[in-house]
Structure 1
Amino acid sequence: MEIAILLILGIIIILLPLIGGLMGISALMRVKALQSSITRLQKELMGLHRRLGDHSVNGPAVTKTSRPPVTDPITDLSAQPEPNKPAEQTPAAQPVVNYELTPLEELRLTVPPVTVEGPAPPPLPSPASPKAAPEKSTEKGALELLEAKIGRQWIAWVGAVVLFFSAAFFLKHAFDNSWIGPTGQVILCSLAGLAVLFCGSHFIRKGWRSLGQSLMGLGLAILYATLFAAFSVYDEPVISQTTAFALMVGVTFVGMALAVWQEAITIAFLAVLGGVLTPVLISTGQNSRDVLFAYLLLLNLGVVGVAFFRGWRLLNTLAMAGSFILYAGWHFKFYDSPAMVPAALWLGVFFLVYLILPYLHNLVHKQNLKIEQYLMALANITFTSAFIWHMMQDSHRFTMGYISLALAGAYLITGLVIRRRLPKDVAALCGAIALSVVFLTLAVPLRLRGHGIMLTWVVEAPVLAYLGYRFRYLPLRIFAGVVLVVAVGRLF
């Protein structure tokens, strides 16, 4: 009986903040919407007043004109009786009036307007200079944007985090006291995560995007935590490692699909973050190289699919950083010489993925590249070459020359694609060519010896200088000078 009472109290404790928070957020958003409507109406009213004032001040000046004595084309004024005749006289019969209208063009030609000069009207006072108004309105608009951001986004995020920890602490207390069995706990948490996802989708359809996106991100976090707990927390796992892995993959791809559908980077960020943390959460401490890297490849292909539709550079950076960290963690813990070939092949696969990912959205939609994308490409090739060097420097040093040529060729092809799709983005083209030239230069000492290195660099330096002047790219010209100096320095 006491357990049931405590369980009911716990549910009430969870539901009260949830309902109160949602009602408070809803009321706050309604108030903000009303305030925005009032502000918009006030601005429109002020704009109308301003337009009316400008029209009255800057309108055309009215000149006094006197109508000239124009003979009525319809009736002859001389036919009318004189006004000084006696009133007793019987008036003459009125002539029949012909109502034929004279064309407007003839009136304009025959009756020119006559302007009567008179005293000029007093000058109207010039309107006050509205110099300070835009600054005040700008400051007011920035303040309103900040208030709207706090009311619609930050409070929603804080509410989602508070609700998550409230539910987590209550469930932990219930689980510690064995109120609910392991299977029931997993089912309950899974249903809670799905319910939060449904609520988030409902709020987005109602127009409350920030609250809905926060709830959907919270639902993904609950599902990740539930699957992790189902596999690794209990003494007897509720689900196997394979099942947990497959379900986490499903949650990740559902999250990315929802993010593309709702145009919400928040959901995509949480989905990819959960996907990157999945191998860490379900790790058994064993060497599962191919399973780990196959999962990372699948995750990164999902991110590539998202990048095709959305240019979210933060998401691309998160996926690349997470994959590199997991690869480095495996390498320093499990790598040995017999695993060099598969490790190098997996590294090459990841290099190709991140050769495409930074540029994909911009190439598809023909948008110039940003500096962050070039830095991603630089980080990709640096990470790949560093680990290749670490694996092959002792026993396969000459093979690295071919690998360096392959890297140079990859970025040369990238430069050609950039030139075709983005002909006006000269900086991106020069950046790709510069990376290609660097690894082409490095391939020389890795494959040749003695004077062969000097002769190759002496031939290469003028070519680089020509390309630098041809494309007006200063770093390439500087690099050409460095190559020439190093080549000449080998003579001494």
Structure 2
Amino acid sequence: MNYIFFIILIVILFILYRMNQKINRLDNEIRKIKNQSAGAPINSEPLPGMPEKPTAQKALQESPKAQPVMPDDDNDQFKDRTSWLSQLSEFFAQNALTVIGIFTLVLGIGYFIKYAIDNNWIGETARISIGFIAGLVIIGIGYPLRKNYPIFSSVITGGGISVLYFTVTIAFRDYHFFSQQAAFSITCLITLLSIAFSYAYKSETLSVFSLLGGFAAPLMISTGQSNYLFLFSYITILNIGMLIIVLLRNWSHAGWISFILTYCYLFYWTASKTETDSIYFYILSYFVFYAYGLQGYLKGRKLCATDILMLVFLNFFSITGLVYTFNKLHLEPVVIFPLIFALCNLLLALREHKAKRSGISYSVFTALSISLITVAAALQLNTHLITSVWAIEATLLLFILKKSGHTVFRNAFYILFPLVLIAQTATWAQYFEKQNLPVIFNPVFFTSCVTILSTAINLFMIRKKTATEEAAYSLPEIILSAALYCLIYATLLFELLYHTSTQPLTVINSIAAIYTVYYIFILLLCSKIFKINSFTQTLLKYLLLILCIEHTSVNGSFLVDNILHHTLPGSFYFLYALYLIPFTYTLWSFLSKKRADRTRFDYRISSFALVVIISLEIGHLYILGNTESWFQKDILQKHYIILYLPIIWMLLASAFIYTGIKRDWIELRKIGFFLTGITIVKLYIYDVWQMDHVSRIIAFIILGIILLFSSFIFQRLKIIISTLIKDKEKEEIRNNKEIQ
């Protein structure tokens, strides 16, 4: 089996050797063509398999009419860099075999050493020596390839550096070959070596390897004892060194990786063991990465999209960590760092203003200053940190999007705004945990106000759009509008429920229902101000009617029980009945519509709501007015359903039919006849069998009188209508004769 494997290996190597020879011949031919073209133009045929390269004259002839080049405006100077995700995917697409190959090689070396160890071929010192030698050999292989194959060389060198890191880790952890100080010193030397290689090779790929290895080094040699002061001193030095190379080489990815990993370490330190020393490293990291974010501005007064995003995240991540530390350690004043950072941005904004530059840089610095001052004000009011910071940051991202037009800020806003809503929901949960919060002047309510204000500003900025933005922003505008109204509703509702939580459940439910009905009522009254379209208004009216029905049927029944049990005063009924004002307005709004705008569902839901509410409310008043004991409630309720409810329904049915005939509303007439049919069916199927003889006689007499009176009215209306029609026809005939 081993011989077969060996033969296959020889065949593969031979094939690769032949391919390499062909590639070398093709490379030589291309070089000859380049040398000839440098002296004089030649008309040569293209090489087989290579596309024909058009000449400059041919390209000019075939190209379409040149378009005039417009001068760049302020926004054009800040075109977004290529997305780092697309660059990363392109890198792996073009170098997948190289990455997989070096990864496989490192694994192969590791398995070989493990196999040798398992068979006791080599001792501990030899094992470590093999690891170092293998790493250096791989680096040595990559060095001569750096000119002609820079990316391949970078990956190879990065693999060699990885071997060195793993060797030091195994030597320290498994064999205790080094002390912790020695192991850390060696990893630092490896990091410095990799940084030097990345600078010499001019390879950002290798700088990424260097960063990952540098940040992983403390984890590799960790013994479980948290020496954060030493750790962040090392990370700060690493960041400063990387910042210098990034500024010299104008790299973007290395700075972002360093930023993300640094704040992961900082947040972990802050969460696991909050110490005063972390404050200094937050400040140092802020200024280091602020310098990185300003690299384009310092070189050419230009801020690209990734630089702006770095400044936004840096300010708010630093504020989050510092304020959390201050709150945990009970330090004051908590607003000092938001104000200091705001001052730094304000100075840059003033510099732009004095230079009479009102471009994207001025807008970004001004927006950062205002947002940080807003954060300071929110913190001074003891709002919840994460919710307030995220809400203000979302507004900042949207503002920068409107100024710059970079899609990266739109995507960041779409990601962050849902997190704001989630954080706000978590903030409302504090109502269930905290006690004795003052009315209005409490951190939960203030935080909700910050979120509401932020969402309102977002909605204003999105509505203030150009014609080209209209299609793109239609859905976000709807979502933001719904989110704003829901936030206002929930904020006031939770505050109201918290301060009435000691009341009986019926009181709480009634207050919540009344508040909800009046909230919708106010939205309908101010629909023009809030720019609520007619379709949404109709939905709100339907919702209001449904809520009124639910309030009457559920809360009304519980209210009657509580009043009869003497747990609530009878005067509370007036508070409960306040819903009748919005209910009456909603019914009137349906009737005041133009006839062409009214739908069948408008008639049906409004009529159904009117019948249900009148029936239930008269029943509640009948029970409260005729009994003082809870034990009599069931008897009176049954008596009401059997005797009085059919009479109420017949009166309502007559009113519907009369109104429908008088105003020629066919749908209302149908509803009246339908309600009459239900009443008659109920009377003969159920009510008759539940009554005594006297009640049965009274019910039939009253119902008969109502039916006869209704029939008499209908007949009169029929005669009146027919008379009007005949008179109108006679008048038309007379007018025609006069014309003739």
TM-score (normalised: structure 1): 0.61
Over residues 292-338 of structure 1, what are the superposed CA-to-partner deviations in whole Å (9 max), with x where a residue is unaligned? Answer: 110110110111111121121111111111111122222322x14xx
Q: Are 1:160 and 1:218, in contact at CA under 8 Å, matched by a contact in 2?
A: yes
Q: 2:287 aligns with which of 352, 358, 362?
A: 352
- State the partner residue of 2:165: 224
Consecutive unaligned residues of structure 1, counting only runs of 5 or more, are 1-5, 56-128, 133-147, 450-467
Greater per-residue helix proportion:
2
Give the aligned partner of residue 438 of structure 1.
371
Q: Which SS does the other structure have where 1:45 is aligned?
A: coil
Partner of 1:156: 98
Question: Does the CA contact (< 8 Å) of 1:200 and 1:212 recur in 2?
Answer: yes
CA spacing shift, 1:428–1:180, aligned 2, 3 Å: farther
Q: SS at the partner of 1:312?
A: coil
Question: Hey, what does 1:318 align to over in structure 2?
Answer: 257
Of 240, 250, 265, the residue aligned with 1:301 is 240
**What's the C-alpha RMSD, in Å, of the aligned pairs?**
4.6
1:283 aligned partner: 222
Contact 2:363 2:403 in 1 (8 A): no
Equivalent residue letter for 1:332: A
Look up the match of 2:134.
Answer: 192
When residues 233 and 472 of structure 1 are mapped into structure 2, their CA distance, relative to the original with a 3 A threshold, is closer
Q: How does 1:85-484 map to 2 (within 5 A)?
A: 153-205=95-147, 207-234=148-175, 237-333=176-272, 335-336=273-274, 339=275, 341-360=276-295, 362-366=296-300, 368-393=302-327, 396=330, 398-415=332-349, 426-444=359-377, 446-447=379-380
Aligned equivalents of 2:180, 2:330: Cα separation in 1: 38
Which amino acid is 2:281 matched to?
W
Q: Distance in 2 between matches of 1:376 and 1:161?
A: 32
Given that 1:21 and 1:159 are in contact with CA atoms closer than 8 Å, whether structure 2 keeps it comes out as: no
Deviations 1:394-434 (A, max 9, x none): 664751222221111122244467789x9878213321221
Alignment partners' CA distance in 2, 1:316 and 1:262? 18
Displacement of 1:33:
3.3
Q: Is the 8 A contact 1:369 1:425 kept in 2?
A: no
Q: Alignment length, in residue pairs?
A: 355
| Structure 1 residues 292 and 209: CA distance shift in structure 2, 3 A | same
Could you tell me how far 1:209 is from its partner in structure 2?
Answer: 2.2
Equivalent position SS for 1:238: coil
Contact kept? 1:190, 1:226, Cα under 8 Å: yes
Q: Residue 33 of structure 1 is aligned with which of 21, 27, 32?
A: 27
1:66 equivalent in structure 2: none
The answer as to whether partners of 2:360 and 2:403 remain within 8 angstroms in 1 is no
Which SS does the other structure have where 1:189 is aligned? helix
In structure 1, what is the Cα distance between the partners aligned to 2:278 and 2:92? 47
Is the contact between residue 411 and residue 432 of structure 1 (CA under 8 Å) also seen in structure 2? yes
- State the Cα distance separating 1:36 from its structure 2 match: 5.7
Give the partner amino acid of 2:146.
Answer: I
Inter-CA distance 208–240: structure 2 relative to 1 (3 Å threshold): same
Q: Is the 1:313–1:358 Cα contact (8 Å) retained in structure 2?
A: no
Task: Give the conservation status (yes or no) of the 8 Å contact 2:266–2:278.
Answer: no
Encode CA deviations 1:190-240: one digit per residue, 9 max, x unaligned.
1221121122111225x2323322221111111111111111122xx1111
1:27–1:196 Cα change, 3 Å:
farther
Q: Could you tell me whether the CA contact under 8 Å between 1:430 and 1:473 is conserved in 2?
A: no
Change (3 A) 1:151 1:408: closer
Identify the residue that residue 120 of structure 1 maps to in structure 2.
none
CA distance in structure 2 between the partners assigned to 1:366 and 1:307 by the alignment: 16
SS of aligned partner of 2:178: coil
Q: Is the 8 A contact 1:29 1:152 kept in 2?
A: no
Q: 1:411 to 1:208 in 2, by over 3 A?
A: same
The runs of 5 or more residues in structure 2 that have no matched partner are 47-51, 65-89, 383-398, 410-452, 461-487, 489-740
Highest relative contact order (Cα 8 Å, sep 6+), 1 or 2?
1
Instruction: Give 1:227's aligned amino acid.
Output: V
Compared with structure 1, are the counterparts of its residues 50 and 176 closer, same or farther at alpha carbon in structure 2 (3 Å cutoff)?
closer
Per-residue Cα deviation, 1:459-482 (whole angstroms, up to 9, x for no partner): xxxxxxxxx9xx98999xx98x95
Residues 197 and 216, structure 1, Cα contact 8 Å, conserved in 2:
yes
Paired residues of 1:28 and 1:151 also in contact (CA < 8 A): no
Q: In structure 1, the residue corresponding to 2:104 is in which secondary structure?
A: helix
Question: What is the one-letter code of the residue matched to 1:383?
Answer: F
Shift of 1:187: 1.5
How has the CA–CA distance of structure 1 residues 23 and 297 changed in structure 2, closer, same or farther, with 3 Å as cutoff?
farther
